[in-house]
Structure 1
């Protein structure tokens, strides 16, 4: 019989998407309680998803002994403390992006989790789009050749209405701008496909809205595997697109342009010869399509918990993602390339926030 894990969700914003993901896995998960300070939104989600209990008290939620997993869907500045408390309460943890506000916090959480048999799974649901998964499949089958160049465009629109939410656009509560809260998914795909970054040079600025954090940036990246990457992000694009393009020796992989589901099919895979194109097409004919997004990430988490293995997205994955953000902010402020990885002696290891935001 399949074990069903009981979940407590904290938050009522992005939590709605998590609840849909759990809803597509009814044999694997049961959301037993939702906790939110916004009672109207919280109770509405409980009614929509048939959640039995609603509370505004995190202490009550964490004290329950009938929950296996705490799913954290709150503003970024609360993530570390909630993760820590949930682990100390003996729960597994799912946590939305961005995970924490520093590399030091990720390293501290690794130590906290390492002393237990619990897991923390950061959210990077875009990894599970069918198009991106097909690229991973071709790489695993040795059909791409050496990596040359990756280009990623995250060109979205965010106007004054978006920043009317009080915690957005502020260093202290949102912890960063478009690099941290918007392009982070597409940039995670860079790490997911090409591995770790070795060096970053970045420009960043605020052009679109009168906010504290950046809304436009460019990054030039050297990867540890020897390839290069060019990344651009703006929240001032009236036509919203996301575009990923991976150039390898033996093929080019290109995403769709849909801004929020760019990992999904139909991707195109173009080979340099007719013979190799036939090999790619034959390989893809044997690809088994799975669910995507939150639904798939939660399925893989369930398997990991049952098997006693690592979650599908790890703290190390989140560390790489936040290293890229840290290095970009450091480069923007120094005007110099920033080498990676980010270690404990780096000036932004404990926080990339400007000094004014730390007081």
Structure 2
């Protein structure tokens, strides 16, 4: 196995969202050394190489990245339809993987990934960096302290704006390459935060539509969920908002919690609003939160925890089971919408065809453009 103490050699493949990975890695120079960057776009590759100086090789092919013995871990920031094959390729080379969402394109693909992992010692780290924010960390801390245990309802909103310029990138907006729309690409982060707080989903009833852009995949979503603990949640997402906003609101028997971040892409960061049911609970909340030490957020925290996991065996920041929970919810949303909102229970049966392919049989959902 590669070294698991000191700085790890890392390569970033795909220099779109990969730029955010590089920014985080620059802040963690004691933990990671960027050995290579890789992209098929020569202009983007050259610009990134200039930004990094002489610290990293600029390569155009994954094979060249994997041939470098100084690379311990590869961050895959490539289009979704490439993920499974590329993860397998990296694992076969004996290197660890950090993979952007969606980790893979179906639950069956995730099962195949688990089999590939069993063949060696390298690990896969799914990316859900948005859950690492001060506000959400405070809520999780309060739950660990005994608060926010009896959930009532939650509302999760992902209201962003994406137009023709965004979808000019060839792989976006297509089932074969993006694998889904707002449900899979944009709202998956907020939905991950929902299950991170409330636990597993029991049933899903959803409706999807394409009302903003002339694309194959959906860009509007509404869903009602019953969680395994009996609480209820509503999901709302669109790519046709006039501005980008995200909001998470959780109501428990003892307190109400609402995200208040002005950054739509980092709703988990502070400040969050915590409203206690009584003055006594309010005082206890303040005392509990005062004991919480500061921590990094976003990609920096994700990569910091990945390094700690590889170095000393601490739990990974996001587990494969958590990635499976996110993909299961995606699958159930698509299955319910394809059945005109019929409730779908989780976990899905092993023989359910949606586990192999969540794409709608008709090629898309109701389309009605302005």
Shared fold, TM over 0.5: yes
Select the residue among 318, 330, 334 that pairs with 2:323. Answer: 318
Length, aligned pairs only: 358
Match of 1:348 in 2: 354
**Structure 2 contact 261–270 (Cα < 8 Å) conserved:** no
Select the residue among 21, 24, 28 that pairs with 1:25. Answer: 28
Name the CA distance, whole Å, in 1 between partners of 2:315 and 2:137: 19
Offset of residue 310 of structure 1 = 3.8
1:1-359 aligned within 5 A = 3-50=6-53, 51-258=55-262, 259-335=264-340, 336-355=342-361
Q: Which structure 2 segments of 5+ residues have no match?
A: 364-370
Name the CA distance, whole Å, in 2 between partners of 1:63 and 1:343: 41
**Structure 1 contact 104–344 (Cα < 8 Å) conserved:** no
Is 90-99 or 306-315 further displaced after alignment?
Answer: 306-315
**Structure 1 contact 241–257 (Cα < 8 Å) conserved:** no
Offset of residue 63 of structure 1 = 2.1
**Structure 1 contact 3–28 (Cα < 8 Å) conserved:** yes
Offset of residue 127 of structure 1 = 1.0
**Structure 2 contact 338–360 (Cα < 8 Å) conserved:** no
**Structure 1 contact 200–219 (Cα < 8 Å) conserved:** yes
* Aligned CA distance change for structure 1 residues 65 and 355 (closer, same or farther; 3 Å): farther
SS in 1 for 2:203: strand
**Structure 2 contact 257–273 (Cα < 8 Å) conserved:** yes
Is 272-281 or 1-10 further displaced after alignment?
Answer: 1-10
Counting helix residues as a fraction of each chain, which structure ranks higher? 1
Offset of residue 355 of structure 1 = 4.7
Q: Aligned-pair RMSD on alpha carbons?
A: 1.5
* Aligned CA distance change for structure 1 residues 353 and 277 (closer, same or farther; 3 Å): same
Name the CA distance, whole Å, in 2 between partners of 1:303 and 1:327: 34
SS in 1 for 2:246: strand
Name the CA distance, whole Å, in 2 between partners of 1:2 and 1:308: 11
Q: TM-score, normalised by structure 2?
A: 0.94
**Structure 1 contact 103–342 (Cα < 8 Å) conserved:** no
Name the CA distance, whole Å, in 2 between partners of 1:201 and 1:174: 23
**Structure 1 contact 180–325 (Cα < 8 Å) conserved:** yes
Offset of residue 2 of structure 1 = 5.5
SS in 1 for 2:176: helix
Q: 1:28-53 CA deviation, whole Å, 9 max, x = no partner?
A: 00110111101111121122133420
SS in 2 for 1:48: helix
Q: 1:122-166 CA deviation, whole Å, 9 max, x = no partner?
A: 100011100000000000000223011111000011111111111
Q: Which structure 1 segments of 5+ residues have no match?
A: none
Offset of residue 223 of structure 1 = 0.8
Offset of residue 309 of structure 1 = 4.1
**Structure 2 contact 261–268 (Cα < 8 Å) conserved:** no
Offset of residue 356 of structure 1 = 7.0
Q: TM-score, normalised by structure 1?
A: 0.97
Offset of residue 264 of structure 1 = 0.6
